[in-house]
């Protein structure tokens, strides 16, 4: 969660995404994508656009990610360059126990 929040906070904006994945450009000009697959949180970060299959698993036991996007007036928005805030919820599960990690990020460089 910390990695996602830190990179997103200093990004130049959301390129695309939906409720279960996100693509944005970080402060160094890299394409960054986060998504969950097979109970792992993946991150892709490179100058090339890449896709949602070429990433590195950075956390396991992650059963889901939920993303919500908001405009400058804190109203729901589409995942697009107009999004100024992203609410994030990660669900982690292990040995029958689960927890939800939540955060919200205002994009500084927008």
CB atoms within 10 A of CB 76: 10
By the 8 A CB rule, do 44 and 24 touch? Answer: no
Q: Provide the token pair at 29.
A: 């000009």
**Category of 58 on φ-ψ map: left (φ > 0), alpha (ψ -120 to 50) or beta:** alpha
Q: Provide the token pair at 60.
A: 């396991």
DSSP type of residue 2: H
DSSP type of residue 79: S
- pLDDT tens by residue, 4-31: 999 999 998 899 999 999 999 999 999 9
State the pLDDT at residue 65. Answer: 97
- pLDDT tens by residue, 49-104: 988 988 999 999 999 999 999 999 999 999 998 899 999 999 999 999 999 999 99
Is residue 35's pLDDT more than 70? yes
Is residue 107's pLDDT more than 80? yes
């Amino acid at each position: 969660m910390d990695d996602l929040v830190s990179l997103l906070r200093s990004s130049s904006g959301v390129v695309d995404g939906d409720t279960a994945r996100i693509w944005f450009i970080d402060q160094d000009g890299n394409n960054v994508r986060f998504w969950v697959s097979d109970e792992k949180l993946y991150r892709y970060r490179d100058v090339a656009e890449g896709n949602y299959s070429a990433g590195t698993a950075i956390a396991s036991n992650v059963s889901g990610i939920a993303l919500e996007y908001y405009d400058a007036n804190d109203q729901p928005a589409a995942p697009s360059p107009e999004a100024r805030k992203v609410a994030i919820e990660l669900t982690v599960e292990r040995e029958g126990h689960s927890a939800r990690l939540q955060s919200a990020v205002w994009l500084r460089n927008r």
